[in-house]
Structure 1
Amino acid sequence: MNAAVIPAIESPRILVIEDDPTLSALVREQLDHHGFCTTQAFDGLSGLQEALKEPYHLILLDVLLPKMDGFEVLSKLRQHTDTPVVMLSARGAEEDRICGFRSGADDYLPKPFNVTELLLRINAIMRRSHEAQPQKRSNKLTVGDGLALFAREQVAMLQSEPMPLTAMEFRLLWLLAEQQGETLSKPYLYQTLMDRPYSRYDRSLDMHISKLRRKLQDAGFDSARLVTRHGKGYSLT
């Protein structure tokens, strides 16, 4: 999986995959007004093709789409790119949110949503995804057992083979590796990774941890080293 290579441009590029033309037009109008360059797609198949054809900073992806639903689009998309994805859905059931995060979504926003909240979430995700690495931070972290993380490239390598991590999964693994052996609390991780306070009803972090643990195991890393400290948080031993 590769991160999208986007040339230095003035306006961040966002792809909106939404079959409701009224909502899509409203979102595009607001994004354009706030300095984004917006492209629209109105079904899952054309949205996937557009997402793979051109590099984008972020994708807004509806769940209920004609030709190919949002979950399938995201699953296919994650085979090729880790471009941040925010899923939009009128289906607010917990199992739908869990499915979205398991498929590789970076965030999930139920409809109807407040445009201001959407903009705040977009800005938070893009800030985390594209901010320059601090000079004081090393570009490489060695975890052990053949696992190494490279900050500038946003790549995790196990035995010299790249792992298919999303941007959120990489940031989560980097944060745990950077403080290896320490237990990081859920409130700390929510605020640091997602720019929002922790709620005991919000399971998005649990889903990211679960998927990261599964990918580590599939790649041959001892996933038991990613430890859940019940009532406390998570640690990488």
Structure 2
Amino acid sequence: MSPYHILIVEDDPDINSLLEKLLTRAGYHARPAFSGSEGKMCLEQYQYDLVLLDLMLPGVTGEELVAQIRRSSTVPIIIISAKASVADRIDLLKLGADDFICKPFDVGEVLARVEAQLRRAVAFSEAGRSPDLLTNGDLVLDAESMEVRLKNQPVSLTLREFKILHLLMSHPKKVFTRENLFTQVWEDEFLGEDNTVNVHISNIRSKLAKIDPDTSYIKTVWGIGFKLEG
């Protein structure tokens, strides 16, 4: 399983750096943002597995960012703030936050709460997902029979192409880097200059386009990787 991607929105550079190092050492991919506006931009460009969020931020406030996130996403949000009153916590939970950590915090508690929220998110996602049949518009993938159909027409894919498409369809809207795809599909070390993933993505697109030339099912997120197009 690939490491989780966590966004840290904290304007204090020392605290932000501490959290980034803590999460990186624990095996997560951590992305720092130093204002609410920067955090909002990051969330618009990439899909994260969890957000660590301060409240008193320049630009967009933490409360405003929680509200904006909850309009379109169920990503777990953990507030890390010196605002520690019961009323503050209740208001934030009602607004859509999933957990609250008071400053100053214990690093062990931060890791434990991050792990707990990620476990819940995975359990919720798996409970609501059919393990065998995945669909995206007219595109249907049957994991048990290893068949793919588009507009009810069979799509002939190689095993690697099937695995790539299955991974993308299993996590709709999540952006996968070439390294993510290579390590999970080939189960080998990724070499940065390797063009293998691009070639396989191109092959999948060509096979889908022969049946449906007007729809793009795999989107390139420039500078990052690929995701399933909704």
Structure-2-length-normalised TM-score: 0.54
Contact residue 86 and residue 106 of structure 1 kept, 8 A: yes
How many residues align structurally?
130
What residue is the counterpart of 2:68 in the other structure?
76
Q: 2:47 aligns with which of 52, 55, 67?
A: 55
In structure 2, give the amino acid aligned to 1:67: G
Would you say 1:152 and 2:129 are equivalent positions?
A: yes
| Deviation for aligned residue 1:35 | 0.1
- Give, in whole Å, the separation in 2 of the partners of 1:133 and 1:70: 26
Q: 1:70-114 CA distances to partner (integer Å, 9 max, x unpaired)?
A: 000100111111100001111111121112101100101111110
In structure 2, give the amino acid aligned to 1:129: A
Would you say 1:46 and 2:32 are equivalent positions?
A: no
More relative contact order, 1 or 2 (CA 8 Å, 6+ apart): 1
- Give, in whole Å, the separation in 1 of the partners of 2:117 and 2:67: 19
What residue is the counterpart of 2:167 in the other structure?
none
In structure 2, give the amino acid aligned to 1:35: G
| Deviation for aligned residue 1:131 | 3.4
Would you say 1:119 and 2:111 are equivalent positions?
A: yes
In structure 2, give the amino acid aligned to 1:117: E
- Supply the RMSD in Å over aligned alpha carbons: 1.7
Secondary structure of the corresponding residue to residue 40 of structure 1: strand
What residue is the counterpart of 2:16 in the other structure?
24
- Identical positions, percent: 34
Secondary structure of the corresponding residue to residue 113 of structure 2: helix
Would you say 1:36 and 2:28 are equivalent positions?
A: yes
User: Which 4+ stretches in 1 moved above 4 angstroms?
Assistant: none
What residue is the counterpart of 1:90 in the other structure?
82
- Give, in whole Å, the separation in 2 of the partners of 1:38 and 1:128: 19
Gap change, CA 1:132 and 1:65, over 3 Å in 2: closer
| Deviation for aligned residue 1:66 | 0.7
- Give, in whole Å, the separation in 1 of the partners of 2:125 and 2:94: 27
Please, which runs of 5 or more residues in structure 2 have no aligned partner? 131-230
- Give, in whole Å, the separation in 1 of the partners of 2:13 and 2:64: 21
What residue is the counterpart of 1:221 in the other structure?
none
Please, which runs of 5 or more residues in structure 1 have no aligned partner? 1-8, 140-150, 154-237
In structure 2, give the amino acid aligned to 1:52: E
- Give, in whole Å, the separation in 2 of the partners of 1:91 and 1:26: 20
Q: 2:91 aligns with which of 67, 75, 99?
A: 99
Would you say 1:131 and 2:107 are equivalent positions?
A: no
In structure 2, give the amino acid aligned to 1:126: L
Please identify the structure whose Cα radius of gyration is greater. 2
